[in-house]
Amino acid sequence: MAAAPVFLDHPSSLEHDTGGHPERAARIVAVLDELERRDWLGWERVSSPPVDRSVLTAVHPEAYVDALQRAAARGGGALDADTFISSGSFEAALHACGGAVELVSLLVSGGAGGRGFSAHRPPGHHALPARAMGFCLFNNIAVAARYAVDVLGLDRVLIFDWDVHHGNGTNDVFHSSSEVLFVSIHQSPLYPGTGAASDVGSGEGRGYTVNLPVPPGSGDSVYLSLVSEVVVPLAFSFRPELVLVSAGYDAHLEDPLADCRVTEAGFAGMAALMSGACDALGVGLGCVLEGGYAIGALARSVCATMEALVPGGGSPGLDGPFVDPLAVAARERLAAEFWPDLGLGLGLGG
């Protein structure tokens, strides 16, 4: 019998106290309640360990980690206008990072049925190596990807970020690296104001940062077109040994912090496209929770994603067309500059 996919979480996520902030404990409670109602969709629930300090400091300097630990020990406070730390936040952040790292360990070892979801808070993709921002303390997915390369010996990791906000922290951590291909679909203009299509990486990493900004109002067809016509072909060209998704759900049409119009079916469709690509490539696929601030929509969308990741789970039927002009332009640009294989018709839109 094939191993069940894994869902990683930890009670410490509820101890990261942000008051009335949109990034609040109720987000995790809603996801867990919805999964309980659906009998966990057949997934195995796993408690996340804290991240090992040496793994964490491969991305975040010791002085920064120490500063956050001291801030939590003092009772916390505001780190900037958007980002808060409480007495329980440091422990929560250690487990959020640890969950992502454990997810990678399970996937690379061939466990977890090749699929997994790490659902913790605080989220991570805005965190820079030495700066907390955008609700984020540690960059969970960046730490996990660095662990995959440095400790587990992988040569190529793909990170796909579908959170509505640009994952500026992840972008910057791997900006000059060809080991990690970072691809982001995000609303623009919007916080944090980064992620222009012209940002393609630097040095050895030129071409390995792929930013796909979309205008406000973009919905399922735009996102699915970009995934089928750009992200999936990039995966076949790059041939990663592991795929990680920064799974934020604030592009949902109900979300109060942005203006995109993705539905649960859209998130399921993106997950199904990525899962199909990973099946063809023979690699594991793990999601790491980022944003999503409409509580009910978040819980439904996480479940829709998990259902679509399971082999044979499929995705809801969605009416096309899927070949949006944004995807055509992005694919042509990337094929001309960095990825000539993208001209070979590998995407589902051909």
Segment 193-248, tens digit of pLDDT: 999 999 999 999 999 999 999 999 999 999 999 999 999 999 999 999 999 999 99
Q: Which domain range does residue 258 map to?
A: 6-344
pTM exceeding the 0.85 threshold for the entire prediction: yes
Q: Is residue 26 part of a domain?
A: yes
- State the pLDDT at residue 71: 98
Q: What is the mean pLDDT of each run of 10 residues along the chain (350 residues)?
A: 88 96 97 98 97 98 98 96 97 98 96 91 98 98 98 98 98 98 98 98 98 98 96 98 98 98 97 96 98 98 97 58 86 96 55
16 is catalytic: no
Q: Is residue 146 part of a domain?
A: yes
Domain count for the chain? 1
The DSSP line for 195-215 is: --TT----GGGTTSEEEEEE-
- State the pLDDT at residue 315: 55
Check which CATH number belongs to the domain holding 95 and give it: 3.40.800.20
Instruction: Catalogue the long-range contacts made by 22-29 (C-beta closer than 8 Å, 24 or more residues apart).
Output: 22/256, 22/257, 22/293, 23/121, 23/122, 23/123, 23/135, 23/291, 23/293, 25/121, 26/295, 27/121, 27/292, 27/293, 27/295, 27/298, 28/119, 28/120, 28/121
- State the pLDDT at residue 181: 98
221, 228, 278 from 345: Cα distances, Å: 19, 10, 18
- State the pLDDT at residue 318: 54
Contacts of 314 (CB under 8 A, 6+ apart): 272, 308
Residue of 2, 260, 32 whose CA lies nearest to 110: 2
Q: Is residue 1 part of a domain?
A: no
- State the pLDDT at residue 350: 34
Q: Is residue 349 part of a domain?
A: no
Segment 266-314, tens digit of pLDDT: 999 999 999 999 999 999 999 999 999 999 999 999 999 999 998 766 5
- Indicate which residue of 95, 126, 186, 252 is catalytic: 126
Strand partners, 262: 252
